Amino acid sequence: MEKLYIVIPCYNEEEVLEKTRVELKKKMDILIQTKKIDKHSKVIFINDGSKDKTWELIQKFYEEDKLFGGINLSRNRGHQNALLAGLLTVKEDADIVISMDADLQDDIDAIDEMIEKRRNGADIVYGVRNSRKKDSFFKRTTAQGFYRVMRMLGVDVIYNHADYRLTSRRVLDSLVDYKEVNLFLRGIFPLIGFKSDIVYYERGERIAGESKYPLGKMLNFAWDGITSFSVKPIRLVLNVGILILILSFLMIFYSIIQKMLGNTVDGWTFIVCSLWLLGGIQMLSLGIIGEYIGKIYREAKARPRYLVTDYLVSKN
């Protein structure tokens, strides 16, 4: 039996926490009684610099029931960082960790299946929502568009998977080696690798309070995801540069013909030729510089080049 820790980042969640606690208590009790998880399993709330009574509530939960625990961050650092803090803080104590949101939008009944898949050998189990019926039209289309763009840019993301996932301890040990500051966790886990599986669930509505991800934050997050994982936009600049340079030769050819045909006013040919040539050269140079910046970006991330899962060797 493995020891499960559930980590839950919370930002101004006083309205939902009580209900979340009751539901998770029920769930954990059943899991412990049916011997699916170790009896020392825990639910850990991470207070991400809330301005309301969230931390007081977490402290109260901890006082009343040792199933619950808390981590308090010094200030608001955003969902991804709060999640990372949770994962890395509990990893020494847990065998497996499940991350989820405080608002119970992630169906907690999927936990059973996640543990089942873990038993079958998965190191990462991704929770994937099988529909977005309960999301607004706007959220649905923007979110799905985002996953498509990410794929187009060559980033390995699991379609419709957010941050509801089970990870084993060795995955979290590997996560430590990803030191990037611009955190986009759902892009990192597929990079880490190991055997993974998927559990589908129905995404519910937020039980109370309102979304802590307004449009601005959402766009920021998406932009972070793209720019932290793909250098394709830089490639695009280089390609456009090459294209313009080719076009400029055509333009030069065209304007010389026009001049020879006498269709031009004085100076026109010179201006048009220099305009296109310079534009092309500038764009190309930007692209070349961009290529180097892309390399620096990869080096600066210092991501691990490989992770070993098994090493078989006989010592005689």
Residue 213 interacts with, from ligand UDP, Mg ion, none (CB under 5-8 Å by kind) = ligand UDP
User: Is residue 11 part of the contact set for ligand UDP (CB under 6 A)?
Assistant: yes
For position 87 contacting ligand UDP by CB under 6 A, the verdict is no
CA–CA separation, 211 and 136 (whole Å): 12
Of the listed pieces 2-10, 53-61, 94-102, 269-277, which binds Mg ion according to CB under 5 A?
94-102
Candidate residues 96, 102, 172, 192; the one interacting with ligand UDP per rule CB under 6 A: 102
The DSSP element (H or E) to which 71 belongs, if any, is strand 68-72
Give the bridge partners for 7, in sequence order: 44, 99
82 or 188: whose CB is closer to ligand UDP? 82
Spell out the long-range contacts of 69-76 with Cβ–Cβ below 8 A and sequence spacing 24 or more: 69/42, 69/43, 69/44, 69/45, 70/44, 70/45, 70/46, 71/44, 71/45, 71/46, 71/47, 72/46, 72/47, 73/46, 73/47, 73/48, 73/49, 74/49, 75/49, 76/11, 76/48, 76/49, 76/50
> Which position among 213, 221, 254, 297 is part of the footprint of ligand UDP (CB under 6 A)?
213
Q: Per CB under 5 A, which of residues 122..151 are in contact with Mg ion?
A: none
103 binds Mg ion (CB under 5 A): yes
Please report how close the Cβ of residue 291 comes to ligand UDP at its closest, in angstroms: 35
**CB-based contacts of 51: which residues, under 8 Å, 6+ apart?**
12
Selected binder of ligand UDP within 4, 5, 7, 9 (CB under 6 A): 9
CA distance linking residue 43 with residue 99, whole number of Å: 10
Is residue 12 involved in binding Mg ion (CB under 5 A)? no
Whose tokens are 């510089």? That residue is: 289
| Residue 126 C-beta: closest distance to Mg ion, Å | 17
Compute the least distance from the CB of residue 164 to Mg ion, in Å: 10
200/111 Cα distance (integer angstroms) = 11
* Shortest distance (Å) from residue 139 CB to ligand UDP: 8
Residue nearer to Mg ion on the CB measure, 12 or 105:
105
Tokens of 15: 């309205």
Q: Binding ligand UDP by CB under 6 A: which of 211, 263, 285, 309?
A: 211
List interacting residues with ligand UDP (CB under 6 A): 9-11, 13, 48, 76, 78-79, 82, 101-103, 105, 206, 211-213
